[in-house]
Structure 1
Amino acid sequence: MSKLHSIAIFCLIFFSYTAYSQKKTLQAKSITENITIDGKINEEIWESASVATNFVMFEPDNGKPISNDKRTEVKVLYDNNAIYIAALLYDNEPEKIQREITKRDVFGVSDHFSVYINGFNDGQQDFRFFVSAAGVQMDCLAIEDSEDFTWDAIWDSEVTVTEFGWVVEMKIPYAALRFSKADKQTWGLNFMREIKRDVQKYTWNRIDTKIGAVIPQAGILQGIESIQTPTRLFLIPYSSAYYQQSNIGSDTTLKAGLDIKYGINDSFTLDAILVPDFGQTKFDNAILNLEPFEQQLEENRPFFTEGTDLFNKGGLFYSRRIGGAPSTEPATAANEEITNYPSTVDLLNAVKISGRTEKGFGIGFLNAVTERTKATILNNETGEVRKEVIEPLTNYNMLVLDQRFNQNSSVSFVNANTTRNGGFRDANASALLFDLNTKENTYNLYGDFKYSSINTVEDYDGFKTEIGFAKTSGKYRYGFSGKYVSENYDVNDLGINFYSNYHNAYANGSYRIVNPTKVFNTFKINQYINFEIDNTSKKLQTGAFGTEIKATTLQNDYLEFVVEFSPFKTFDFYEPREYGKYVFLPEKVFTAINFATNDNNPFTLVVQPSLSKFNENDRNVYGFYISPKYRFNDRLSIAYVLDYFNETNDRGWVDSDNTGIIFAERNRETAQNDFTGKYALNNRMTINLTARYYWSYSKNHQFFTLQNSGYLTPNNTYSQNKDRNFNSWNFDLSYSWWFAPGSEISILYRNYGLERASIVEKDLSKNLKSIFNSDLTNVLSISIRYFIDYNAVKNKF
């Protein structure tokens, strides 16, 4: 081969790489005329705007240019209030465009168009806005490997399906974004188009999947200059009415309150709730919890889910602590009983401030106050009733300082503080975090140092530290980390942490394809090793080797296989429920399979069998998850889930008495049934049904005493009944109408009940009959929220 030929090939490869790695730039055009958001794009000003086109496939065939018959053209305009986006999405078979109507933030089986905006162009966080071909909106805050769809902005969009494809028109107010005060703005920008029937996604600026980081691979939006943004002040008053009825009686409650959102400047926002009302949030999934740890609950209250990405840094913030269960139990005499113990504490008010400067410095501050709460205690001999404080007036504070730099790295400081009035327990926890990436996003170094301090009858401090390194690009990737957690590390007043007093070593290696093969659209295999050792006894509490395989077939069915070996004798330091004690755990192997059919089909099915085999007395756990779903049309769909587990010869704590710590060998069964249905009247009005029946029992057949060695010896004298039978029923039927941007009317009928018993009933039909014959509670509620933009009101008056 001649030198000239070699040079030519080198130049071709170099310039091809440069073309792919170079960021595309789009010029936004300034306007003064009004734009009507109707999905028609018929204003003349659109004709003179610059065009973003030549989309490239993101997945599955990364880097493949979009075909001409599915070309996509996007334009951007702006004024002092908002940016305007128009997209023409060509399709040579418009009758095949998927258009399932869902409620907000649910993607469903639809084609989608989205815009990713990073107002600081720092490669760290996107504001993402999606519109489906059915006109349904979705939005989220995105950082690498995480999209927060609980965040909801107020913006406008319309969709039209045409003979050549479909059209999207969007208006995104500056109030929904964050950006610098610079006179000339430079934003990170990308557009994504999803063609659902082909299971393909395309982006305007190519995203190379060999590189782990997605956000830094955005293009550039320029041209926004000298904007005078309006005052960002929004008021959201609400009013709600509740009627509750049970065998005890009935009750009617009326509530009214106000949410406030105020833009301190273009970068920082204040959110406040006065007289909060969370009566229509999703119900919690009650379970039979026999574990040594509390049940970790999902957060469904909008204030604590929207825009809380900053507060989640460091893992010190578990928002269900605020307004959760009381922190103490009242002391009672032998002749006294507790007749009323509130399960939750009322939230009085809450406020949060969050944002980021043009130099990448982020600040998050959250404060919440809960009210003084008392339990009622009855003296059975005298009939005297007294009340005792179980949770005083409590103040919760979160502070986060986060500095981003070099497009993809950050250093953060986090502080969580809980202050209770009077002589109750106070707590403080702090964390210093770093997340450093190379300029090319090929390697990552991360770590933290966390410190906790508890002020109670006996004060104590603790700490946790971790460091890790990972290769984050290419087909072959790897990572390893080490962790140390001290004995007294405790962040459970405002955070949640179950394990302490151990050190850990973890390593993994993975391989993935970035383009389809003759068998798979996507394929990834990951192998890992994980060891945890107790600091005090030096005994192993975890020792596992695992393999995970995830793949998508050419027919877009999903396959996953997991196997984990624990070939070592380990010890559980938490199940005995007593400090310094531990119990032996036998060797085991765990395996699971996950299969999901292509969700483009009207009928879809998810099947997930699993098995754990222990090296002990026929001790096994097997389970299966099955979820069929049927989509009748673009408006109506139903789904069912059965999640079943059967544990034979499980061993767990049941009691502690003067003879020691008592364990039981037991059989357990758990069956959770979920039924959901959706009917969409249009893209702003839906009827939704959610029903859940949960049944679980624990039947003991042999008792043991825990020895100091961690092993169990038979106990033939213990005879108390520690069997458990648990039934829980929830039924929600709701109607939701978003009658204006940010404004909603919702009607909810709720029916629920819960039963606990010490006599096990294994007949499922009898359990169902029992829960429906119990004292079920019925609630009917109506809530109205109305979004008021200060600028709109000001202009009218």
Structure 2
Amino acid sequence: MNFKMLTFVFLLYSLGIYAQKSITTNTISQHIKIDGLLNEDTWKTHLKKVQLKQLSPNNGNLHSNASKIAITNDDSFFYIAAELSSPSITNILTSRDDVGTSDYFGFMIDLFGANREAWAFLVTPANVQTDIKLTPNGNYGEWNAVWESAVKIYDDKWTIELKIPFNSLRFPKKDFSNITINFERFDAVNNENSFWNYINPNINGLLNQFGDLKGLKNVSPPINLSFNPFVSMINEKTPNKLNTYTFTGGLDLKYVHNNAYTIDVSLIPDFSQALSDNQVFNLSPFEIRFNENRQFFVEGAEIFDKGGYLYTRRIGGTPVNKNNFNIEKNEEIINNPISSNIINLLKFTGKTEKGLSIGILNGITSKSEATVKNTVTNETMNIETNPLTNYNSIVIDKTLKNNSFLTFINNSVIRNGNTYDSNLSALLYRWYNKKRTYSMYFKKALSQKYYANLENQFGHEYYASLSKISGKWTGNVSFYLLDDTFDNNDFGYLPRNNQLTLKSNITYTNNNPKKTFSQYRINLQHSRKYYYTLLENEQTYYKLNTSATFKKNNHKAYAVFTYVEKGKNFYEPRVKDRYFNKPAFTETVLEYQTNRNKNLYFAAYFVAVNYLNSDIYTNEIVTGYGVRCRLGQHLFFKLEQDLTKNPSSAGYITQQGSDIIFGKRSIKELTNSLHVNYAINAKLNISTRLRHYWIQVDYDKQFTLLNDGNLTTNNYTINPNNYDENYNNFTIDFIAKWQFAPASEISLGYKLGSNFYNNDVKSSYFSNLKSTLKEDSSNTMSLKMTYFLDFNKIKEKLF
């Protein structure tokens, strides 16, 4: 190598530019037994030593231990083998889709090579499988596939075999020249996370830093059709002693056409074993958003996440008119369903070779009715609270040059009868330059509500941002506008509209410090939010974010300092265009985390809020900690506790004529949760979660809100103590799962939910816990069996 070439290679290295690796797959006819023993001739021929480079803790360094990898294929499967040398192997049993603190090996592949989507298959030394859908928007661990793996552990190494069906992937029909892949290895003892094709953290994106896969020729996988029939027995008990038994069955069907277009259908879906919501007592004027825990909606949801317009909890959620009907004095409500029953669900997703992605999600819920009883005649009548409703979401996404994209979204809710219908349409455009250094993002959305007897309502949303996304220095400026009639809450989640927000931030990241840290980051943010219709400044803040990872022990530290100027809250008064003056304050957040990969992990945070120049608000403290411990290979538990103490603040309590009444209040909030998991083996797992939430809101004084946003005393005979709140929520979630065959399982679930409420704000924690446990609770016991049927195997047996 001459001097000029040496200089060129040095410059490439110093700029963080590395040659893209390539590996060749060979089509084989030999049968490979998936047993973890690499004794087939194929592996003896193709297994080669490879160099893996660390992403962390020593970015760019070679992995400490030797690795050998090979990949081959036949007409139906990819086969991957790996031999990973290691003097110490961390072998922990966990549930599926959870690598825990164990070592693991992963294979990632983007069959279109367009940096838009990829699939990752990870396996631990305990042969626990994890599969993940990777996209530029985020990773989706809820995606599940049917594949095989086997592991063999030796004194100084462990060996892996993977057998991944083409039917589990999506790929172009003809062109296989752009396939990209990567291999990942994690060693828990050294905290080393390494990749075959180096991942440069100073370059935005993961998929665009894969290596090339050569040698894959046209393949003809079999018909991709599968069925998941299920049967379930459910016993439900309500707090009012109503006891029901249900024996039901259903079917989930998946069909993939040309290995590009997927149809998922769920007939009579059963979500009885979905995790309980983390209930809280809502003091704010906004709706609380809950996580989506239902498998049908979380799996394959990545295309519908574009723009953040879809909230699938609306399907089967609260009836639209649950609280919108009146009863007479001699009537009482006997039953008022809190959710709508889902009849069926359908999901269609696909991607063409030219980068056009399509997603369709459809759900139908049945009519819901409340039962009202006449206390004089004892007659009952039914009042419709939710009509037969169709929910539909369509997403069309086109890949453009440099992995830019243009996306059209349409979400609609069509209701039977005179209840209003709604629609949302949005257009999104993301641009990247060739080197993926800069990006621009624009979106425009239109919400529409169509009424039978009222004027239709239209609303508008606008967003624009410009970002530098790669390099040590990154930053962003953005503009966000929601008018006062924009509303997508029929199929989305929008806590508020009527805002204009301007934001900017700049970040410095060092991924290769020389001494104390393996990585640190400093970020500065500035934001100004306006109440749009009046162009009144609501909130302005300045924020400094810092984070660092220590080189020696992989501990992490965070510190955030925020100053918020005096502002106007236009929503706490619950009356349009009225506002409440919020004092200026500073907020300090400190957090420390020990090494997540150790058997004992501890994290704690502390938040101090200091209010400035206020007669009502006093300093607030929020703190919490979490302890995670693994005892041996099988048992894991996690304990978390969060505490909020707000000695004095103000909030809305009621109205007297046109006067808005606020109360001075103290808030004490405590959440305790315990999660215990016992993995008997890689296929049998038992998990239990207990959670207790407790809040006390103690009102002391009451004031009238003036037109200038200040509070003043009044002559109303309002007793603030009448608005005191003491609320408890206790839940238990138990689930035992046995995967007796690929994608087939038997599960036993138990859920308990109990609430306790009064106005005794002087009561102690343990007396509240005791009273909550004594309350009549809702209980759900369910036994469910799901069986995976592959059409090709059925065909073989029948014909």
Task: Name 1:481's counterpart in structure 2.
Answer: 478
Counterpart-to-counterpart distance in 1, 2:715 and 2:162? 73
**545 and 17 in structure 1: CA distance in 2 versus 1, 3 angstrom threshold:** closer
**716 and 162 in structure 1: CA distance in 2 versus 1, 3 angstrom threshold:** farther
Q: Is the 8 A contact 1:129 1:138 kept in 2?
A: yes
Task: Name 2:168's counterpart in structure 1.
Answer: 176
Counterpart-to-counterpart distance in 1, 2:549 and 2:339? 44
**1:603 to partner: Cα distance:** 2.2
In the alignment, does 2:631 pair up with 1:632? yes
User: Secondary structure of the equivalent of 1:192?
Assistant: strand
In the alignment, does 2:737 pair up with 1:736? yes
Counterpart-to-counterpart distance in 2, 1:656 and 1:43? 79
**1:12 to partner: Cα distance:** 4.0
5+ long unaligned stretches in structure 2: none
Task: Name 1:650's counterpart in structure 2.
Answer: 649
Q: Is the 8 A contact 2:233 2:783 kept in 1?
A: yes
In the alignment, does 2:326 pair up with 1:332? yes
In the alignment, does 2:581 pair up with 1:584? yes
1:379-398 matches, within 5 Å, as: 379-398=374-393
**1:714 to partner: Cα distance:** 2.2
User: Secondary structure of the equivalent of 1:358?
Assistant: coil
1:88-127 matches, within 5 Å, as: 88-91=83-86, 93=87, 96-127=88-119
Counterpart-to-counterpart distance in 1, 2:435 and 2:379? 72
Q: Compare 753-762 and 422-431 and name the one that shifted more.
A: 753-762
Amino acid in the other structure paired with 2:596: D
User: Secondary structure of the equivalent of 1:320?
Assistant: helix
Counterpart-to-counterpart distance in 2, 1:445 and 1:547? 24
Q: Compare 746-755 and 696-705 and name the one that shifted more.
A: 746-755
TM-score w.r.t. the length of structure 1 is 0.96
Counterpart-to-counterpart distance in 2, 1:769 and 1:134? 41
**1:747 to partner: Cα distance:** 1.1
Pick aligned residue for 2:349 from 349, 354, 372:
354
C-alpha deviations, 1:588-645, integer Å up to 9, x for none?
1111111111123332211011121222234232111111222111211222111111
1:587-666 matches, within 5 Å, as: 587-615=584-612, 616-617=614-615, 618-666=617-665
1:399-410 matches, within 5 Å, as: 399-410=394-405
1:270-285 matches, within 5 Å, as: 270-285=263-278
Q: Is the 8 A contact 1:234 1:788 kept in 2?
A: yes
Pick aligned residue for 1:471 from 457, 468, 471:
468
Amino acid in the other structure paired with 1:685: L
Counterpart-to-counterpart distance in 2, 1:643 and 1:235? 43
Pick aligned residue for 2:427 from 427, 432, 448:
432
User: Secondary structure of the equivalent of 2:167?
Assistant: helix
User: Secondary structure of the equivalent of 1:198?
Assistant: coil
C-alpha deviations, 1:34-57, integer Å up to 9, x for none?
221111122212233374712211
Task: Name 2:668's counterpart in structure 1.
Answer: 669
Task: Name 1:573's counterpart in structure 2.
Answer: 570
**1:207 to partner: Cα distance:** 1.5
**215 and 708 in structure 1: CA distance in 2 versus 1, 3 angstrom threshold:** same
Counterpart-to-counterpart distance in 2, 1:465 and 1:585? 27
**289 and 493 in structure 1: CA distance in 2 versus 1, 3 angstrom threshold:** same
**714 and 381 in structure 1: CA distance in 2 versus 1, 3 angstrom threshold:** farther
**1:165 to partner: Cα distance:** 1.0
User: Secondary structure of the equivalent of 1:312?
Assistant: helix
In the alignment, does 2:69 pair up with 1:74? yes
Task: Name 1:689's counterpart in structure 2.
Answer: 688
**373 and 145 in structure 1: CA distance in 2 versus 1, 3 angstrom threshold:** closer
Counterpart-to-counterpart distance in 1, 2:17 and 2:742? 39
Task: Name 1:768's counterpart in structure 2.
Answer: 769
User: Secondary structure of the equivalent of 2:313?
Assistant: helix
Counterpart-to-counterpart distance in 2, 1:779 and 1:492? 29
C-alpha deviations, 1:127-167, integer Å up to 9, x for none?
11111122111111112361111111111111111233111
Counterpart-to-counterpart distance in 2, 1:254 and 1:293? 38
Amino acid in the other structure paired with 2:391: Y
**1:235 to partner: Cα distance:** 0.2
Counterpart-to-counterpart distance in 1, 2:499 and 2:491? 22
Amino acid in the other structure paired with 2:693: Y
C-alpha deviations, 1:391-446, integer Å up to 9, x for none?
10000010001011334211111111011111102111111111111111111111
Task: Name 2:371's counterpart in structure 1.
Answer: 376
Counterpart-to-counterpart distance in 2, 1:511 and 1:581? 41
Counterpart-to-counterpart distance in 1, 2:63 and 2:600? 29
Q: Is the 8 A contact 1:589 1:614 kept in 2?
A: yes
**1:536 to partner: Cα distance:** 2.1
Q: Compare 236-245 and 320-329 and name the one that shifted more.
A: 236-245
In the alignment, does 2:255 pair up with 1:257? no
User: Secondary structure of the equivalent of 1:66?
Assistant: coil
Q: Is the 8 A contact 1:20 1:206 kept in 2?
A: no
Counterpart-to-counterpart distance in 2, 1:580 and 1:404? 43
Amino acid in the other structure paired with 1:331: F
1:182-221 matches, within 5 Å, as: 182=174, 184-221=176-213
**1:339 to partner: Cα distance:** 2.6
1:502-581 matches, within 5 Å, as: 502-554=499-551, 555-566=553-564, 568-581=565-578
In the alignment, does 2:48 pair up with 1:85? no
User: Secondary structure of the equivalent of 1:310?
Assistant: helix
1:701-740 matches, within 5 Å, as: 701-717=700-716, 718-719=718-719, 721-740=722-741
Amino acid in the other structure paired with 2:731: N
RMSD over aligned Cα, in angstroms? Answer: 1.9
**200 and 99 in structure 1: CA distance in 2 versus 1, 3 angstrom threshold:** same
User: Secondary structure of the equivalent of 1:303?
Assistant: helix
- Could you tell me the percent identity over the aligned residues? 31
Counterpart-to-counterpart distance in 1, 2:84 and 2:402? 31
**1:249 to partner: Cα distance:** 4.8
TM-score w.r.t. the length of structure 2 is 0.96
**1:315 to partner: Cα distance:** 1.2
Q: Compare 705-714 and 661-670 and name the one that shifted more.
A: 705-714
Amino acid in the other structure paired with 1:341: N
**1:580 to partner: Cα distance:** 2.1
Q: Is the 8 A contact 1:61 1:516 kept in 2?
A: no
Pick aligned residue for 1:455 from 450, 455, 467:
450
Q: Compare 149-158 and 32-41 and name the one that shifted more.
A: 32-41
Amino acid in the other structure paired with 2:556: Y
Q: Is the 8 A contact 2:272 2:780 kept in 1?
A: no
Q: Is the 8 A contact 1:60 1:516 kept in 2?
A: no
Q: Is the 8 A contact 1:646 1:670 kept in 2?
A: yes
Q: Is the 8 A contact 2:276 2:751 kept in 1?
A: no
Counterpart-to-counterpart distance in 2, 1:249 and 1:710? 49
Q: Is the 8 A contact 1:76 1:86 kept in 2?
A: yes
In the alignment, does 2:301 pair up with 1:308? yes
In the alignment, does 2:261 pair up with 1:268? yes
C-alpha deviations, 1:91-146, integer Å up to 9, x for none?
2x1xx211111101112111111111101000122111111122111111112361
Amino acid in the other structure paired with 1:795: E
How many matched pairs? 788
**575 and 220 in structure 1: CA distance in 2 versus 1, 3 angstrom threshold:** same
**18 and 790 in structure 1: CA distance in 2 versus 1, 3 angstrom threshold:** farther
Q: Compare 367-376 and 180-189 and name the one that shifted more.
A: 180-189
Q: Compare 346-355 and 206-215 and name the one that shifted more.
A: 206-215
**248 and 265 in structure 1: CA distance in 2 versus 1, 3 angstrom threshold:** same
**698 and 187 in structure 1: CA distance in 2 versus 1, 3 angstrom threshold:** same
Counterpart-to-counterpart distance in 2, 1:126 and 1:769? 50
Q: Is the 8 A contact 2:286 2:496 kept in 1?
A: no
Counterpart-to-counterpart distance in 2, 1:251 and 1:761? 38
Task: Name 2:144's counterpart in structure 1.
Answer: 152
